Structure formats: structure tokens, C-alpha cells
Chain A
Amino acid sequence: MDDKSLKNFDRHIEQVMNEGSVTPPFGAWNRIAAELEAAPAAGVATGAVGTTTQPLFNTGAVLGFISGALLIGTLITGWLLYNNYNNNSISVTPVVNTELPVEEIVTTTQPVATEPVLQAPVEVKTTRIVSTTPKVEKSATEVPAKLQNNEVAAPTVKLPMDKQKNTDEVYYFPPVDINTGTPTENTTATADEEDEDNDADEVKIAKKVTQSSSSGERIKFKKKRKTNWTYGRLNKTKNKSKF
């Protein structure tokens, strides 16, 4: 087949096909119109969606954020409460004064030269620490090492050692003769009498010193006082099972 016949074939087919016109099926326009009507409606719908202000976070994210914040707050609160509970039992470290008073005593092995010494004396300088224990100054608010839950630390005020010693001993003023102003020899006051004056209910063993033919002192113990003293009615009635 030559080119001329090919072109003739193509031209004939083209003419036949271009002249052709086929009536579309009935209802084709209705389908097209329906699609055209649906498209603008969808466009309006999408436009309406587009114009609505979208929240920055959706509801799920907000709820999650709130729940997370609550959880974190609860954990922090619990941690703080736990720390407060533990702080009650933490012992207060006493203030330690590290400044040690050092007394420097210089001694020499050479005798004190009364005569002029030709050689220079060798001086050995020694240092003696007088007090090696550090002074521990406990603060007024010192509390015991550990406290229980309901215990409240009460400050322990300690008096100086000298004063404390004095308070333990009973000091008796010697009897003085008013007329002469001189102290008398008769000192018969005993500790037993003093104790009876102070605390009559307390049963004590009193020491009574009496003179005997023997040279040594004889100690006579006083019998226990038989009393019907009880701790009170209240305890009796409350703890009947114990009694």
C-alpha cells in the first residue's frame, strides 16, 4: 500500500467519523445537571467548614492536657506531703563550734640561765592542746534524734554544769544564835525530815544515824510505810481487768 492510498484511507475514515453525530441517551443531561448541582453544594459546605474557626487544639488534646496536669499536680502534692512527713523525723544537726581554744605553752629543757650563756639555747617549742574536745553548743531548739509522728520537739534547756551540781545538793544554813550571832554546834536536822516535809506521800528509806557503844556508825533502815494509797479511783475503774 503506497502513501497515497494510505492518505486516502485516513481521509475517508476521518470524514466519516467527523460527520457523525450520535444523540446521547435520554437522561444524560439530568445526570450532568445533578452533578453540577451537587458540586456547588459541596463547595458551599466545604466553604462553611473552612470559615468556621477551628480550635487550636481539639477536644481530645485539651482533655488529655487537663488530665495530665491533674496527674502531675497530684504527684507533686504527694511528694511535698511525703517530704513534710519526713522532715519531722529529720534530726537537727547541732551547731559545732570548730574554733578550738588552743593554749600554747612553751617549755624549755634548758634551765633558766642566770649566767650569761655563750651558746644560744636550743628552744623546743611544744604545743599542748588543752581541750581537745570541741565545744558543742547545742541550740535551744535541739530535738531528739528522732521523733514520732505526734511528738513535738520541746527545747531542752541545759543549765551550766556548776549550777546543776549545786541544785542536786541540799544546802543547810547553819543555825545561828540570834543573841550572839555565832553559829551553834547542834545540827540534828536530817534529810529524812526534810523529805517528809517536801513529799509526804513518797515512801523513802531514811537513813538515821545514831550513836552506839560501838565505834562505827550503824545504819538503821526505816520500815516501809504501810499505806492504802492507790493511784486513784479513775485508774481503778478504767483498768479493772488489770487490777
Chain B
Amino acid sequence: MSSITYQGYTEQQIIAGCVGGERKFQQMLYNMFSGKMFAVCLRYAGEYNAAQDLLQEGFVKVFRNMEKFRGEGSFEGWIRRIFVNTAIEHYRKQVNLYALHDSEVKYYEHYDTNALESLKYEDVLKMIQKLSDGYRTVFNLYIIEGYSHKEIGEMMGISEGTSKSQLARARYLLQKMIMQNGEVAKHSAN
């Protein structure tokens, strides 16, 4: 466990306080991770209000299950996993994923690497939020969270091939958006 301190309290002390149900330590934990976790929620949620709901639901789960944290891994990773699972549970019922045929999967072969590197966080977030729920979820789980297609398939209740095809489609749409964004940037610069 890392020795992160916040307002003079170590992470262990804050966790112990949260396990004891002390509101002060719970608020400290919220202040420590709310920014990052809200970013996670925004990635999985299609809109801002839905992300707020996910944030609230995720933190309530964290505080209620605090005693289950055994200190074996990163505490931030544990919290992040709770938020990801909350988002997946939220969208699993809504998302109706299906496998795409190879003819439907297109790769945008010529994209500008400079346009990609010039992208900021907010720009990428907006592009990801424009994706449909299924593409967005698989893209987040594979690219950002680092899950394999097999794990994604188990988590989402879909096959591995479906996860792959959904990811390929999400990539194609994002690259297309990046190219369009780069062209717009070029035109605006000229």
C-alpha cells in the first residue's frame, strides 16, 4: 500500500476511518479520488448527468464495502474497479451488443498522427462520449482499463468476437473523428 497522505492522514488512516463510518474520513477519501473517478464516469456515461449518478452510486458502494478492501493491491485501483463495475452494471441492461461482420468493420488507415498527439483530454472525452453505449464501453474496457476481450466478454455477457468487432468499430469511428477534428483545426489555423 502506498504511503499517500492527505491533510496529514495516511491512506491507511483514512481507510480505517471510512471503515469506522466517520464522515470526515469519508469526505477526505472523496476529495482524494472524486476527480479521477468522475473522469471514469464521464467516459462510460454518455452525458454529464448520467456521470453524476454513476459517481454517487460508485462512492456509496465504495463506502459500504470499505471493509472488504484487504490492502493487497492499489487502493485507487480497487476504487476504480468498483466504478467500472458500476458503469458496466448500469449499461449492461441497456446495451444490446451484437457481433459485426468483417465487411462492416472498417479501419481508417490514413489518420494524421499529429492530429492525434495534439488532442487534449477534453477533446478525446467528447469523441468517446459520441460513441454509442456498446462501442464506448468496449473501447473503455479494452483501451483504457486494459481488460482482454475474454474478460470483456465475461463482464458484458458477450462473446469474445463481439468484443473484438465492437472495439474495431469504435476505433474506426474515433479515428474518423480525429481526422475530421484535425482537418477542422488545419482550416481554422489557415
A123, B73: Cα distance in complex, Å: 128
Chain B: CB-nearest residue to A33? B23
> Does B38 count as interface, using CB distance less than 8 angstroms?
yes
Contact between chains at A13 and B52 (CB < 8 Å): no
Contact between chains at B144 and A14 (CB < 8 Å): yes
The 0/1 profile, CB within 8 Å of A marked 1, for residues 15-54 of chain B is: 0000001010011001100111011001100000000100
Where chain A touches its partner, the secondary structure class is helix
What is the distance, in angstroms, from B3's C-beta to the closest C-beta of chain A?
21
What is the distance, in angstroms, from A33's C-beta to the closest C-beta of chain B?
6
Question: A8-B113, A16-B119, A29-B30 are contacts. A24–B143 as well, Cβ < 8 Å?
Answer: no
Q: How many residues of A contact B (CB 8 A)?
A: 28
Interface segment among B6-14, B91-99, B120-128, B152-160: the answer is: B120-128
Contacts of A29 in B (CB 8 A): 27, 30-31, 34
How many of chain B's residues touch chain A, expressed as a range? 35 or more
Chain A: CB-nearest residue to B178? A9
> Does A19 count as interface, using CB distance less than 8 angstroms?
yes
Contact between chains at B124 and A13 (CB < 8 Å): yes
Contact between chains at A17 and B60 (CB < 8 Å): no
A25, B54: Cα distance in complex, Å: 13
What is the distance, in angstroms, from B77's C-beta to the closest C-beta of chain A?
12
Q: Which 4 A-B pairs have the closest CB atoms?
A: A20-B121, A21-B35, A24-B38, A22-B39
Q: Could you list which residues of chain B lie within 8 angstroms of chain A, going by C-beta atoms?
A: 21, 23, 26-27, 30-31, 34-36, 38-39, 42-43, 52, 55-56, 59-60, 63-64, 107-109, 111, 113, 116-117, 119-122, 124-125, 128, 143-144, 146, 171, 174-175
